[in-house]
Amino acid sequence: MRMTYTSDLWWKNAVIYCLDVETFKDGNGDGIGDFRGLTQEIDYLAGLGITCLWLMPFYPTPNKDDGYDVTDFYSVDPRLGTLGDFVEFMRTAHDRGLRVIADLVVNHTSDRHPWFVESRSGRDSPKRDWYVWSDTPEPNPKEVVFPDKEDSVWEHDERTGQYYLHTFYRHQPDLNVANPDVRDEITKVLGFWMELGLSGFRVDAVPFLIENVSPELADPHDFLAELRAFMTRRQGDSVLLGEVNLEYDQLLSYFGEGLGDQLSMCFDFVAMQRAWLSLARREAGPLASALRERPAPPKDCQWAMFLRNHDELTLDKLTEEERQEIFAEFGPEKHMQIFGRGLRRRLPPMLGGDLRRVKLAYSMLFSLPGTPVIFYGEEIGMGEDLSAEGRMAVRSPMRWSREGGFTRAERPVRAMPEGPNVADQKRDNDSLLRWIQLLIERYRESLELAWGDHTVLDAGDPAVLAHRCDADGATVVAVHNLADRECDAELDLAGLESCLLTDLLVDGTVEVPRSGRVRLPMEPYGCRWLRVSSPEVAPEDASVKAR
């Protein structure tokens, strides 16, 4: 089937870069990152090849949960700037061709939000039903998300004698989206920020957002469809990117089964976790099985691919034995682990700082079918700060120079551990920064990777992950050696007989014989992206190697 590549589906081959304004760049010298500082670095992000910025929460907050405890959905935290600074940032981003999405955190509010202050003022409060209250909370509460801080999802309110629901921390009461007034208000929030230039939202904790809905809504997913319909009316190419950490069979309904009328994109937590299992074992099998099992999303929907993000590296979809394998390989010390299900580390130190292996990991990320999402600092190999509490270990300030470069203040908002920096890596053609730039450039040139049909190939060696992506008669083949040894990948490229494979990451070509079988030499932790073209003559020998 011929595929049409249109700009209104820009997010299908976007490169999404997640950042926290508070820790990215300080523009006024007070030690806290802000929109003025972020605006100063828009050219850096555009030069890197980023096409979409994802902003973590920047709204007013008591900051008990790094901004995810919101007290006003219609403004900017004064520490980070003003609405005027935000608009100037948006103007600059759009001028450089970047789109911007922001976290939509509407599962809950801060307990200091005026809505909740009014809701808990009395049982007859007009906003009482904006939150979830109960006289008799469930005797066996659902799984506690943060077992290091909470032992229940219900908190007793002494003033009114009832309990309120909080899926996360007790200072974050859940909104009741079954209430039509709440749904209307959330829609207004979307409309407000879209009017200021946002192209969409990353929806936080989507299953928790809709699973607590009372029977007043016949189908909780109707709420997601309502949000998507509203955004489409306002801006046809807007996007909803959902955090849905579920198995594939449960996750499909969040796209809108068969219709694609709910979330535009969903993070692929299953493939992410299997990728780490493959990296730990140095075997392609776990990730290959996930890619084979993964269902195709509805038309015009897309998977979002990632290896690390701003939270813990959750491993909850693996067995306990598999989790322990990854812990042993990448986080053997207890203080590196969190919640019993994840790691609070960044990718480069997890891979021992081995640049070959780090480059391999990001090559896999950008070549896997879906839209790549990276976390700020990944492009320079930033490490974590294990002295910080919990998930804050991976949220330290961005390093722009050897001296830090984040702020002119003596004390930044958070400690800045030593590590790689942007300035040095810009001058080093072999740096991780230059590698990420190359991957982004090749990914953006290779529409097959984002838009095409993908097929996992048998590579003849358990260490090798190989897959091909086909679109409109064009093909790219990606091959990755997860082991620290040389090997040959033997591929059966049915339908590509007598073709030429051109390396996209290094200079070289491989001729595919008339048999369609080709042998590719792979260095330890080697990676190759190969574009298919048609040479005039193909050889008989099936073992022709790159020259």
Q: Active-site residues: which are they?
A: 204, 243
Name which of 288, 293, 287, 284 is nearest 274 in CA terms: 287
Amino acid found at 225: A
CB-based contacts of 492, cutoff 8 Å, min separation 6:
457, 458, 516, 517
> What are the CA-CA distances from residue 304 to residues 365, 366, 370, 455 (Å)?
10, 11, 5, 18
Residue with tokens 């999802």: 153
DSSP letters, 313-356, are: EE-TTS-HHHHHHHHHHH--SGGGEETTTEE---HHHHTTT-HH
CA-to-CA distance for 320 and 25, rounded, in angstroms?
39
> What are the CA-CA distances from residue 158 to residues 120, 140, 164, 219 (Å)?
10, 21, 11, 33
The three state secondary structure string of 176-233 is CCCCHHHHHHHHHHHHHHHHCCCCEEEECCHHHHHHCCCCCCCCCHHHHHHHHHHHHH
CA-to-CA distance for 532 and 95, rounded, in angstroms?
35
- Tokens found for residue 325: 């394998």
With contact defined as beta carbons under 8 Å apart, do 482 and 464 qualify? yes
DSSP letters, 373-433, are: EEETTGGGT----TTS-GGGGG-PPP--BTTB-S-SSSS-SS-------HHHHHT-TTSHH
CA-to-CA distance for 524 and 127, rounded, in angstroms?
61
CA-to-CA distance for 355 and 198, rounded, in angstroms?
36
CB-based contacts of 357, cutoff 8 Å, min separation 6:
279, 351, 484, 525
CA-to-CA distance for 198 and 192, rounded, in angstroms?
9
| Residue 119, helix vs strand vs coil | helix
Helix, strand, coil % in the chain, rounded to nearest 5: 35, 20, 50
CA-to-CA distance for 473 and 1, rounded, in angstroms?
9
H or E element in which residue 444 lies: helix 432-445
> What number of other Cβ atoms are within 10 A of residue 394's Cβ?
25
Name which of 213, 129, 114, 139 is nearest 164 in CA terms: 129
- Tokens found for residue 284: 């392609």
Q: How far is CA 382 from the centre of its chain?
A: 17
